[in-house]
Amino acid sequence: MARVPFEIGYKRALRLRCPLCGEGKLFSGFFRMNERCSHCDFKFEREPGYFLGSSYINYGWTSVSLTIAYILFHVVLDYPNSYVVPPLVGWFVLFPMFFHRYARAFWLTFDCYWDHTGLPNDPPDSGQSS
């Protein structure tokens, strides 16, 4: 199978679409992920526990953004901790809930780019849409 170019794969992930064809939606609700692509029938959860890797992406983005915000507001702008910490705690709880769909999409795209095991040989419209 031809490898989907990295930039096209990540554009598809930002749109929460299938990394192989770019057409099928990854999610049918905010937390509900489709089992397969509606366009090319690619099974998104490639093995049991597959999306555990996406939690590392989600944790990384949350931690880095929290650290940057804390340094910016407390160290650079000199706001006291009593003003900075409560909103950042809210960020630490809410951001991963919002970002989990994108973390899964990025994980799936990353994994399909590097590991072709079990991928269909010729997905429809491969590399055509972004």
Q: Does 26 bind Zn ion (CB under 5 A)?
A: no
The H helix count followed by the E strand count for the chain is 3, 0
Q: Is residue 112 near Zn ion by the rule CB under 5 A? A: no
Q: How far apart are CA 4 and CA 12, in angstroms?
A: 10
105 scored as a contact of Zn ion (CB under 5 A): no
- Specify the residue, 36 or 67, whose C-beta has the smaller distance to Zn ion: 36
- Copy the structure tokens of residue 19: 């990394």
Residue 49, by phi and psi: left (phi above 0), alpha (psi -120 to 50) or beta? left
88 binds Zn ion (CB under 5 A): no
For position 13 contacting Zn ion by CB under 5 A, the verdict is: no
Judged by the rule CB under 5 A, the positions of this chain that interact with Zn ion are: 18, 20-21, 24, 37, 39-40, 42
